[in-house]
Structure 1
Amino acid sequence: MRQNPSFAMTDVVELRRVIDENPWVTIVSAGTDGLVASHYAVLLDDERDDLTIVGHVGRPDDVIHGLGGGEMLVVVQGPHGYVSPQWYGDVPAVPTWNYVSVHLSGVPEILAPEENLRVLERLVDRFESGLGTPRGMWAAPNDEDFVRRLERGTVGFRLSPARVEAKRKLSQNRPDAVVDTIIAELERTATPYADPRLATEMRRAHEAMRAAREDRS
């Protein structure tokens, strides 16, 4: 990912927040027949306070990716969306796309069956928790035999990234008044090309920038 110092993200707390809020990721590795990409949900490792993630792939994706035998790239895509040049005012301008993205690279560790089972349970609990009546992985009509077969059909992994590249391109190179206009337009305009969370992400980033400027003054 081409980096620009103005858009770089380095704060671990913020990176953890982005990963936690955007668990559906793209996994990329160099397979025997070329690059391979798959899509799975991941979680931050609850026993670490860094950027280590845990997840799983379904068999035979472990073989296709050569899981554990080489480097893997995990792409975390945060809020993103189209920004119209109309929102810059009556000046020459072109469209752009604002986004937040985190790339985690490293060689994953394969989890033992019991640890994989715990990760699978955490994944189910995480996403069921948003429902009115959550149904856990072990809840009836699932029984232990069913759950154990489910685990055997997956391969769990832990990735402690050796390399992290993160970018938050949210109009940081624009004047405050223009940024406020873009945020207002994103909140007001029902465009199919913008994540509804993008305005909130922009406001968060720019409030932090303004606070830093005030601290320096």
Structure 2
Amino acid sequence: MYIPKYFKIENEEMIYDLIEKYSFATLFSQHKGEPHATHLPLILNKDENALYGHFARANEQWKDIANQQVLVVFQGPHCYISPSWYETTRAVPTWNYVSIHVYGKLEIVQDGKVVFDSLNDMVNKYESPESSYNLHDLEPGFIEGMSKGIVAFKINITKIEAKAKLSQNHPVERQELVIKQLENSSNQDNKQIASLMKKNLLK
């Protein structure tokens, strides 16, 4: 990923937080000699420096993906930045965004306990605290049957590239003008970008 120095995220905790917050990712690999992508939620295991997830078994991308160096893209908030918001009209439009690229070697997981634990971690992440749904309450036979329809995997992370393009290449005064415009928007991506820009200014 092209990352000018002022857009590079180097804070590890911030990177992990973004991966966990925007965890519905795009997984790219080579399949039958061509680029292939699947959109799916992934769980970060910091202790193992790994990502866990699963394919639908009918998705043939898994059949030749083992041991490949794969790319996972986590897309954060993004929005259009209008030059009309600046103090001058001698400017051009741009786009602010946050994106994390994770590279790693993928291995297929077949151990039943590891598969169940990864599924359980995913359910616990996305279910609300008040939810009554719990994988442990389901019959083992039902879980085993449903698990036959998926292919679980683990990605051992080898490299992470993280970028936050938040108008850092513009003067502070201009960044403040952009933040004001974004905060007045009803669009949630705009508001999230404004929040990240404010945090960046307070560093």
Give me the TM-score of the superposition, normalised by structure 1. Answer: 0.85
User: Runs of 4+ in structure 1 displaced over 4 angstroms?
Assistant: 62-65
Q: Is 1:41 aligned to residue 37 of structure 2?
A: no
Amino acid at match of 2:142: F
CA distance in 2, matches of 1:31, 1:198: 35
Unmatched segments (≥5 aa) in structure 1: 209-217
Query: 1:169-202 CA deviation, whole Å, 9 max, x = no partner?
Result: 100011111111111111102348x453221122
CA distance in 2, matches of 1:164, 1:65: 25
Query: 1:113-152 CA deviation, whole Å, 9 max, x = no partner?
Result: 220111111111111126x43412234xx42222112222
Alignment-derived partner of residue 191 in structure 2: 196
Alignment-derived partner of residue 147 in structure 1: 143
Distance of aligned partners of 1:65 and 1:96 in 2 relative to their CA distance in 1, 3 Å threshold: farther
Judge conservation of contact 1:29–1:72 (CA < 8 Å) in 2: yes
Shift of 1:46: 5.3
Judge conservation of contact 2:30–2:65 (CA < 8 Å) in 1: no
Q: Is 1:170 aligned to residue 166 of structure 2?
A: yes
Judge conservation of contact 1:25–1:39 (CA < 8 Å) in 2: yes
How many residues align? The count is: 202
Amino acid at match of 2:80: Y
Judge conservation of contact 1:138–1:147 (CA < 8 Å) in 2: no
Secondary structure of the residue aligned to 1:94 is coil
Q: Which has the higher strand share?
A: 2
**Aligned-residue identity in percent:** 29
The residue correspondences of 1:73-152 to structure 2 (distance < 5 A) are 73-111=71-109, 112-129=111-128, 132-139=130-137, 142-152=138-148
Give me the TM-score of the superposition, normalised by structure 2. Answer: 0.90
CA distance in 1, matches of 2:63, 2:76: 24
User: Alignment RMSD, CA only?
Assistant: 1.9
Judge conservation of contact 1:84–1:96 (CA < 8 Å) in 2: yes
